[in-house]
Amino acid sequence: MPWYRKLHWQIILGLTFGIAYGILAASNGWGGFVDDWIAPFGTIFINGLRLIAVPLVLASLVMGVASLSDLRKLSRIGGKTIGIYLVTTAVAITIGLVIVNVMQPGEFIPPELRDQLMSTYADDAAGREVAAGAASDRGPLQFMVDMVPSNFFAAASNNRNMLQVVMVALFLGIGLIQLTKEKAQPLLDFFGSLNDVIIRLVDVIMMLAPVGVFALIAATITSVTGDDPSQVIGLLSGLGVYCIAVLLGLTIQTVLVYPTILKLFSPMGLKTFFSGIGPAQLVAFSTSSSGATLPVTMERCEEKLGVSEEVSSFVLPLGATINMDGTAMYQAIAAVFIAQALDLGLGFGAQLTIILTALLASIGTAAVPGAGIIMLVIILEAIGVPTAGIALILGVDRILDMCRTVTNVTGDATVATVIAASEGQLSIPNLSEAGDHIRMTAPS
Ligand code: ASP
């Protein structure tokens, strides 16, 4: 197949043209045209992915749990998955804290820019503080209560409630395991067939990906810069070191930590892994939403990395909702950066508090654009830094959001691969004969 017919190259082309066109449009004041005639294609693409996310999680997870056939296996895989998710997130936060303490990006922000940012984004920051206030004014166990919906349709009607849909699917799957084969079969056939249909729909929607990505990137650039790109240059000169700190951390996590984990705990080749997961990373970058990317992540992990459906359907939806290494790392760096910029020293105790709160905050962060900065408010409160400080970083949040979402999605795929390898459920594609898979045997 010629290179330009390959999906990831088509998406990269869409991305490149989108960036070029976005810059051109912003410099010529075409923002209105982009909003009216370009942006809708991006919205259609992202809506298509969101549309299939809830039914996909439901169908694939019910099938996944039902095929585990006994509850011991479910709790073993569940325990392992959550354990690895927590460890990778703690590693990400620690790397972030080391970087921000060494680089001290807060020292690079000139006082005039700081004051200007605080007044420009004051209203916006206040809005997010209110959103975060609603989240933090609740008891310590509220997050558990939130996971169990009282009405399935209410849960399924909002993609933000993905964790509730995961719970419903787990319940249904557990119920199905208890039935006799004859009784369970009709429902299994239904969910199995729904699952297959949706996986096909991912292919259909992904045909729109190059155009969708073009539109999303162009629209993001014009909306971030307004019609005055020189503003962005001014912003980047003050916040540049902060952005570099976040990007450096995300890069270390994505190209060093995950490959090391894959090397140590799975037979997966890195080239296979990154070329398999590439399109999901590109979709994550352009949509800034690991929830919207989930259908693509699942499809790539199953078809290109050889992760069994049983593992991917359980590990990935859970990961998209609770495992956000990129977000947690960004929250840690941002919290310390704001403290540095406002001249507030943070001791060892405060840094330890950041590790714990960022771990919890990233679990509670919804897999949608911009959710990470809302939960950042809770971390700032915990360490006694004025929450209005988020005004300092709002201007560059969108671009960092795109990058941290890539790390989030790569982390989920890494853990799915490792869990599949540990369960003997990874059949690495044999690259010499496309379509052939080598099944790994379960470790004894
Ligand atoms: N956009 C991120 C995600 O969906 C969440 C965040 O950090 O804002 O993974």
315 Cα: distance to centroid of ligand 1 (angstroms):
18
The answer as to whether 444 is a domain residue is no
Rounded Cα distance between 227 and 220, Å, is 12
- Please report, for the domain that includes residue 335, its CATH number: 1.10.3860.10
433 Cα: distance to centroid of ligand 1 (angstroms):
37
- Residues whose CB falls within 8 Å of the CB of residue 291, separated by 6 or more in sequence, listed in order: 50, 53, 159, 162, 320, 321, 366, 367, 368
The answer as to whether 41 is a domain residue is yes
Q: Is 105 in the pocket of ligand 1 (CB under 6 A)?
A: no
Q: Is 397 in the pocket of ligand 1 (CB under 6 A)?
A: no
Residue 202 has a pLDDT of 86
Q: For residues 206 and 7, is the Cβ–Cβ distance under 8 A?
A: yes
| Ligand 1 atom with the shortest distance to the CA of 292 | 4
| Ligand 1 atom with the shortest distance to the CA of 320 | 9
The answer as to whether 196 is a domain residue is yes
Percent of the chain that is helix, strand, coil (3-state, to 5): 80, 0, 15
**Which of 289, 318, 376, 403 should be mutated for ligand 1, with most atoms under 8 A from CB?**
289
The answer as to whether 231 is a domain residue is yes
The answer as to whether 23 is a domain residue is yes
Q: pTM value?
A: 0.85
Q: Which domain holds residue 252?
A: 3-439
Q: For residues 437 and 315, is the Cβ–Cβ distance under 8 A?
A: no
The answer as to whether 147 is a domain residue is yes
The answer as to whether 129 is a domain residue is yes
User: What does each of the 444 residues of the chain score in pLDDT, given as a tens digit?
Assistant: 677 777 878 988 998 999 899 989 988 989 899 999 999 999 999 899 889 888 988 888 888 788 776 778 888 998 999 999 999 999 999 999 999 999 999 888 888 878 877 877 777 777 777 776 666 666 667 777 888 999 999 988 887 777 788 889 889 998 998 899 899 999 999 999 998 898 889 889 989 999 999 999 899 888 877 766 676 676 677 788 999 999 999 999 999 999 999 999 999 999 999 999 999 999 999 999 999 999 999 999 999 999 998 899 889 988 998 899 999 999 999 999 999 988 888 888 999 999 999 998 888 788 888 888 888 988 898 898 888 888 889 888 888 999 999 999 999 999 999 999 999 999 876 544 444 444 444 443
Residue 6 has a pLDDT of 77
The answer as to whether 309 is a domain residue is yes
376 Cα: distance to centroid of ligand 1 (angstroms):
12
| Ligand 1 atom with the shortest distance to the CA of 291 | 4
Rounded Cα distance between 115 and 345, Å, is 19
Q: For residues 128 and 373, is the Cβ–Cβ distance under 8 A?
A: yes
Structure tokens at 380: 């700032």
CA distances from 205 to 138, 179, 235 (A): 39, 36, 36
Q: For residues 265 and 421, is the Cβ–Cβ distance under 8 A?
A: yes
**Domain total in the chain:** 1
403 Cα: distance to centroid of ligand 1 (angstroms):
9
CB burial class (10 A; 0-12, 13-18, 19+) of residue 424? Answer: middle
396 Cα: distance to centroid of ligand 1 (angstroms):
14
Neighbours of 443 (CB within 10 A): 8
Q: For residues 54 and 155, is the Cβ–Cβ distance under 8 A?
A: no
